[in-house]
Amino acid sequence: MEAKHDVLIVGAGCAGMRAAIEAHDAGADVALLSKIHPVRSHSGAAEGGINAALGNASDDDPEQHAYDTVKGSDYLGDQDAIQILCDEAPADVYQLEHWGAVFSRTEDGRIAQRPFGAAGAPRTAYAADITGHVLVHVLYEQVMKREIPTYEEFFAWKLVMNNDRCQGVIAWDLLDGGLKSIGAKTVVVTTGGAGRLYVGTTNAYACTGDGMSMALRVGVALKDMEMMQFHPTTLSPTGVLITEGTRGEGAYLLNSENDRFLKRYAPNAMELASRDVISRAEQTEIDEGRGVNGNVLLDLRHLGAEKILERLHGTRELSMTFAGVDPISEPIPVRPGAHYHMGGIDTDVWGLTNVEGLYAAGECACVSVHGANRLGGNALMETITYGKRVGRHAAEWALANTTVEVPFSIEADSERELNALLDRREGERPWSIRDELASTMHENFGVFRREDQMRKQGEIVETLRERYERVVVEDKGQVFNNDLTQALELGFLLDLAASMVVCGIERKESRGAHARPYDYPDRDDENYLRHTLVTLEDDRPQVDWRPVTLTKWQPQERTY
């Protein structure tokens, strides 16, 4: 065993670093482990802002925030978890401010808040359009201040199970090579999303669902895996995110006829409807021939150069760099792209899974504050609020328990499995399977879902999983072996694709991001006001169900 700690946090984005800070402050010996440097985490790509009912732009309170979140989730969000998020958000944002987060300001010096989709009030606090970047750096400063050790460039591959407890992680050391096992009394998984399942995604290459799959493999259920959110404004053709903040500041969406088409889909909210509604509207316009080269147009020109340069400078830079378009003078081509996984590791409101000692927080977890559709600005808030809560609970449990043991047999078995992969001389390269997975998921499990396409995708994923058994890693070296880590990431992605498809087939309704307009166009609260839960049995995904937690709001029809 390389080392052992009270709390080991796997993943060092906003959720991971916030959990580490809280666990440290609770008195635990805590360490972070990440396959990339913490400030390179995908949390840094979040642009638009972080939601909290501060009431700086209009009357607002946590109750209204909670209602908007429940409604936005299409009533699949657990209302107890949502209430916690919204109640704790304001104090958590002020703490970030006190730590040095440079939020944009109102004229009288308070934190500025912009309108975001499906919100009843302007409650998205922001730092221009680089909010995630600012928060990642602020949190990293706090990690450095506390001298929390970080295993940078360690690729987590397996969770260590011993005596029915999670007691650490087996990781590949990218810098020096070789497998290393790190023991811990509690392990917190904060590894982010799995957008790389899709060819068109806002997600970084590192977003391969590692933590979700590792948890699935040790018997933890994944919840609501069919709920992959498509963001309405991703840059064509790269998939780079164009923030919802553009629409919060007043940008229009136009089709090829120069028509603000959302008046036909969301006549009241228009460009500030929820993401699932706008993504479906855009896809319909494109499918019916009113798109522009497979896109629609995001028009900022009427906002004026001054506003764009002050509040959306990052968006302008991205548009110019990746599309050759200056939004001051011409509209930006955008289309729906895979953005955020509402589903993930099934946890309670303290981030605890059904495996003792194993926790999860952030995008890889499903406590379920987002349900079937996440509101923009709620993801960053979830990383902070639930990162903090999970870090505290994991530390308190660890401090009340003493033993950590990673049996030699587990290390030896892992070594043998990895060597078998590296020793293979003939087979298929991982990238060809990965490319096929991403393109077929986009085609068959995208904005709209059809029964025949989902079943076809299930067969495709099954075939790809069989082909993966014969995958070959050409690079046999020890140092920075990206060939090896990409092969392992592909295994994670294939597990998750199989889980998503089987859940999508079983949910015979349209709810939030899961749209089946051709066979089940309506939401069915009588039969499907339930979470899907998927587990592996004999390496095959099996689906079970659990009721949604309702406290004070009964399902109503969503209108925008």
Supply the residues annotated as catalytic: 275
Q: Please, are residues 95 and 125 in contact by the beta-carbon 8 Å criterion?
A: no
- Count CB-CB contacts under 10 A for residue 114: 23
Structure tokens at 5: 């700690």
Burial class from Cβ neighbours inside 10 Å (0-12, 13-18, 19+) for residue 472 reads middle
User: Rounded to 5 degrees, what are φ and ψ at 465?
Assistant: -65, -35
Question: Distance of alpha carbon 506 from its chain centroid, rounded?
Answer: 23
Nearest to 189 by CA among 367, 354, 364, 40: 364
Neighbour tally for 317: CB within 10 Å: 12
Bridge partners, 404 (sequence order): none
Specify the DSSP element, H or E, that contains 180: strand 179-189
**Residue 180 amino acid letter:** K
**Dist. CA 146–CA 162, nearest whole Å:** 30
CA 386, CA 398: separation in Å to the nearest integer? Answer: 18
Q: How far apart are CA 351 and CA 525, in angstroms?
A: 27
Instruction: Give me the phi and psi of 358, to 5 degrees please.
Output: -115, 125
**Tokens linked to 516:** 């089946």
Which of 532, 513, 543, 19 has its CA nearest to residue 230?
A: 513
Instruction: Report yes or no: 92 and 385 within 8 Å, Cβ to Cβ.
Output: yes
> Rounded to an integer, what distance in angstroms lies between the CA atom of residue 537 and that of residue 498?
12
Backbone angles phi, psi at 166, to 5 degrees: -80, 120
With beta carbons less than 8 A apart as the criterion, state whether 195 and 201 touch: yes
Q: How far apart are CA 187 and CA 166, in angstroms?
A: 7
The residue assigned the tokens 């590792």 is 214
Query: 333: exposed, middle or buried (C-beta count within 10 Å: 0-12, 13-18, 19+)?
Result: buried
C-alpha 243/C-alpha 241 separation (Å) is: 6
d(CA 404, CA 162) in angstroms, rounded, equals 9
Element (H, E) at 201: none
Cα–Cα dist 458/453, whole Å? 9
Chain Cα centroid distance, residue 131:
16
Q: How far is the C-alpha of 103 from the C-alpha of 128, rounded, in Å? A: 8
How far apart are the C-alpha atoms of 17 and 160, rounded to whole Å?
A: 22
- 530: part of which helix (H) or strand (E)? strand 530-537
Distance CA 408, CA 162 (A): 11
